[in-house]
Amino acid sequence: MRTDTAQYQGAIFNNVLLPGTILLANIDMTGLLDYALKALAGGAIWLGFKLAGEYFERRKKQQEENKPSKPSRNRKPKKGDNGITE
């Protein structure tokens, strides 16, 4: 009975496991945690500004829609064919 295939599969697993363990052992977990907290805080601040901007834009648009339209003061009065302003 040959066991070459079983040994080969174990070799692949060991070839992946050993470098993975070495790489993960050298990771600075406190640095990653610090970076993750800063990223979350920055994302929360960005999201707050984005939501506030959309809120104020929607509010401004609603105020413009509800404001009664007034004629422009810069407009010159129209003159009829007989020269009298309408």
For 21, which DSSP code?
A: H
In this predicted structure, what is the pLDDT of residue 56? 96
- When pLDDT is cut at 50, 70 and 90, the band that residue 28 belongs to is confident
Distance CA 83, CA 80 (A): 5
Which range among 9-18, 60-69, 76-85 shows the weakest confidence by mean pLDDT? Answer: 76-85
Count of beta carbons in the 10 Å neighbourhood of residue 46: 10
Global confidence as pTM: 0.49
Distance CA 10, CA 16 (A): 10
Q: Domain spans of the chain? A: 28-66
For 83, which DSSP code?
A: S
Distance CA 75, CA 79 (A): 12
